[in-house]
Amino acid sequence: MDFIEAIGLAKSYTPKRAEPVHALDGLELLVPQGTVTALLGPNGAGKTTTVKVLTTLIRPDAGTATIDGIDVLAHPERIRPIIGVSGQYAAVDENLTGLENLDMVGRLYHLGARQSRARAKELIELFDLSDAQNRVVRGFSGGMRRRIDLAGALVTRPKVLFLDEPTTGLDPRSRLGMWDIITSLVGEGTTVLLTTQYLEEADQLADSISVIDDGKVIAKGTSDELKASIGGQRVEINLVSADDRGAAVEILRRFGTSEPSVSPEGRELTVSSDDAPVALQHILAAFGEQGVRLYDAGMRRPTLDDVFLRLTGHMASDEGEGEASGPEASGEKRGGKKNDASERRAS
């Protein structure tokens, strides 16, 4: 049994005078103990709603969830002591100092005065907040609040940690610091479910990534598996002149394995290939024969960006454009391929 198991979670909201919103629509999630799973998805995908259900803050309309074998819906009071939560928006007491905020959490969890104080001081150090420990939170910057809130989630050394966009609003140094902290917690056996908008964050931290959209998981796997799932490598070409793009598209189409995509200004073209080095050689030779001038050419493996945009790209203009022949219609880089995403959903 996995440490976190959620099956068939559904949750709808019916705002006044509006269509119902299906925040969760049959979401499934399995998180093994001592691993990091990232929920990756666009705004409104259902990430925060998933975290709220698993942390007992809301009840789903349907579905089941267990953490460490405990039924979340039947025994929320047994779940709360074993979890730590840092919500999307920092929940801190404005009128207490940084240290007092952490101490308060310890006392609420019945740690005892001395132990609570010691743990608070330890976390202040860990989160690099020594300078700010005796200032009231009202005067904290957004990033400092975020760090105090995260520290609060760690006071009780929970077995499982839910982090809803833990590094949004942090500067690059604090973000790296946060990644170190999360990595070392996982090293000590903590199970982490985090949501993120940052592909690099999922790439760095997550053992497994679940891409979610419209309240359900549309793809999951390791970062490498997801990249491989959208196929091969990429050949990228930069033209000196956009006037050559017609000829360039023809050539890429001949040697690539996907419909070439063209950047809006028409000079940057990308095509998939199962054997990029060979394809690149052919493409360069053909460009030479036809006198197409190149500014730059290269190959790369797909990034998580490619995966994310390919799977979740919702461009209204993509609807019904599946048969369009122009290269602009299939711009994967700009998040096209709604059709592709639907295929994946079906499979």
Ligand X SMILES: Nc1ncnc2c1ncn2[C@@H]1O[C@H](COP(=O)(O)OP(=O)(O)OP(=O)(O)O)[C@@H](O)[C@H]1O
Which spans of this chain sit near ligand X (rule: CB under 6 A)?
13, 15, 21, 23, 41, 43-49, 88
* Closer of 44 and 112 to ligand X (Cβ): 44
E-state strands within the chain:
4-13, 21-31, 36-40, 62-67, 70-71, 83-86, 160-164, 191-196, 208-213, 216-221, 233-239, 261-262, 268-273, 294-300
Given ligand X, Mg ion, none, residue 45, with its beta carbon under 5 to 8 Å by kind, binds: ligand X
Nearest approach in angstroms of CB 165 to ligand X is 7
Q: Please state the closest distance from residue 4 (CB atom) to ligand X, in A.
A: 17
Q: Which does 49 bind (CB under 5 to 8 A by kind): Mg ion, ligand X, none?
A: ligand X
CA distance 216 to 34: 24
Contact positions vs Mg ion (CB under 5 A): 47-48, 88
**Which distant-in-sequence residues (6+ apart) come within 8 Å of 306 by Cβ?**
227, 230, 234, 332, 333
Classify strands 21-31 and 268-273 as parallel, antiparallel or unpaired.
Answer: unpaired
88 vs 174 by CB, closer to Mg ion: 88
In the complex, what is the shortest distance from the CB of residue 203 to ligand X, in angstroms, rounded to a whole number? 18
Nearest approach in angstroms of CB 310 to ligand X is: 19
Q: How far is the CB of 47 from Mg ion (least distance, A)?
A: 5
Residue 119 binds which one of ligand X, Mg ion, none, with CB within 5 to 8 A depending on kind? none
Nearest to 236 by CA among 301, 311, 324, 328: 301
CB of 47 to ligand X, least distance (A): 3
**Residue number, 156 or 195, with CB nearest to ligand X:** 195
- With CB under 5 to 8 Å by kind, the binding choice for 158 among ligand X, Mg ion, none is none
Cβ closest to ligand X, residue 21 vs residue 297? 21
- Provide the token pair at 221: 């796997």
288 binds, among Mg ion, ligand X, none (CB under 5 to 8 A by kind): none
Nearest one of 251, 270, 280 to 310, comparing CA atoms: 270
Rounded CA gap, 102 and 130, in Å? 13
Q: Which residue lies nearer to ligand X by CB, 126 or 218?
A: 218
